[in-house]
Homo-oligomer: A and B are copies of this chain.
């Protein structure tokens, strides 16, 4: 498990917690990947399939993000005995703890798109 950065001096508890979350789940892709795996829990999600279906991500990025998520026990990596080799990625129980957060992202995105329509641009 990756260690977190130290508290910036004088940082409140909630600020620190936010920073931690942004450090672990921040960036362009991690929450999208978690969402992908959560909503496709019963499927066999291979590297290739994920790259195809998570629109816009490159192999390099997907590798890196999956590695980060695995290090933090949010995602499980399982190599299959196929030929050629395939790898199955699944969400862990711990990874599921991000579900509410993800739901908030979805909810807010909908709020924002609605707001956009209601405002003269």
A12: nearest residue on chain B (CB-CB)? B39
Interface residue A51 (Cβ < 8 Å from any Cβ of B): no
B28 touches A106 (CB 8 A): no
Q: How far is the CB of A16 from chain B (nearest CB, A)?
A: 7
Enumerate chain B residues within 8 angstroms of A101, measured Cβ to Cβ. 101, 104-105, 107-108
For this chain, the copies found in one complex come to 2
Enumerate chain B residues within 8 angstroms of A17, measured Cβ to Cβ. 105-110, 113
Enumerate chain B residues within 8 angstroms of A108, measured Cβ to Cβ. 17, 21, 25, 97-98, 100-101
Q: Which stretch of A1-9, A41-49, A59-67, A80-88 is in the interface?
A: A1-9
Residues of A within 8 A of B (CB): 1, 3-4, 8-11, 14-22, 24-28, 31-32, 35, 39, 55-56, 72-73, 94, 97-98, 100-102, 104-113, 115-116, 119, 121
Closest 4 CB pairs of A and B: A17-B109, A8-B55, A20-B109, A21-B109
